Structure 1
Amino acid sequence: MDVIWFLITTLVGGLILGALGKLVAPGDRDNIPFWLTIVCGIVGMLVGSFLYWGAFGENNKPFDGHAATWDNATNGIDWMRHLWQVGVAALAVMAAAFVTGRSKAKV
């Protein structure tokens, strides 16, 4: 059952972070396919979490009866980790638009 919830949260989180990544990415990056937006969001979610954990996560002390992990590093909502995720998702959206050549052409 843990695997199913991991997949569901990864897909939903990828959808949300991909949309936020498209919103935050500079320039016209709206012309990539919907499935690629979700993939960029999933990349942002996973890579952003690991980058945050590598930079700041190991300094957190145990809380709520368990040790801090890469996907649960603080009490409550980990806003800084989510900002890292959105930033990585925006970079992934820009890279996807560049690789696929699907940025909007100026008229």
Structure 2
Amino acid sequence: MLGGIWGIITTIIVGLILGVIGRMLAPGKQKIPMWLTIVVGIIAAFIGNWLAGVFGIRDTPGIDWWRHVFQVAAAVVGVIAAAAAYPKITGGRTTPKS
């Protein structure tokens, strides 16, 4: 039980970190909410892991730098896509209704 909860917590933390890095590296200002940044980061982590596996470098001795490069690249692309799509989905609003 505790392992499952810890897995969820670490996934959210990694998603937050990757999403924030993606926001910092993406060009321009991204008007998306923090929850969407976290979701993009979580998805980017999975995509980065998958790409590292495709290239045969998912598990290496030491720090998996290439896996992290793929994750950050996926986060940047994801933030750019989310920033472009979010206003269209919300009808032009970039902030939630009060």
TM-score, shorter chain, exceeding 0.5: yes
Residue number in structure 1 paired with 2:62: 76
- Residue-by-residue CA offset, 1:28-47 (whole Å, 9 max, x unaligned): 22x11000000010011111
Indicate yes or no: 2:94 matched with 1:93. Answer: no
What secondary structure does 1:11 align onto? helix
Residue number in structure 2 paired with 1:41: 41
Q: What amino acid does structure 1 have at the position aligned with 2:86?
A: T
Residue number in structure 2 paired with 1:17: 18
| Structure 2: gaps (5+ residues) | none
Question: Separation in 2 of the partners of 1:34 and 1:40?
Answer: 10
Aligned residues: 88
Question: Separation in 2 of the partners of 1:28 and 1:9?
Answer: 27
Q: Which runs of 4+ in 1 moved over 4 A?
A: none
Higher relative contact order (CA 8 A, sep 6+): 1
Over the matched positions of the two proteins, sequence identity in percent amounts to 44
What secondary structure does 2:14 align onto? helix
Question: Separation in 1 of the partners of 2:19 and 2:61?
Answer: 25
Residue number in structure 1 paired with 2:53: 53
Indicate yes or no: 2:14 matched with 1:28. Answer: no
What secondary structure does 1:77 align onto? coil
Question: Separation in 1 of the partners of 2:60 and 2:3?
Answer: 21
Q: What amino acid does structure 1 have at the position aligned with 2:79?
A: V
Q: What amino acid does structure 2 have at the position aligned with 1:46?
A: F
Offset at residue 4 of structure 1 (A): 2.2
**What RMSD in Å do the two structures reach over aligned CA positions?**
1.7
Question: Separation in 1 of the partners of 2:84 and 2:76?
Answer: 12
Tell me the TM-score normalized by structure 1. 0.74
Give the number of the structure whose residues are more often helix, by fraction: 2
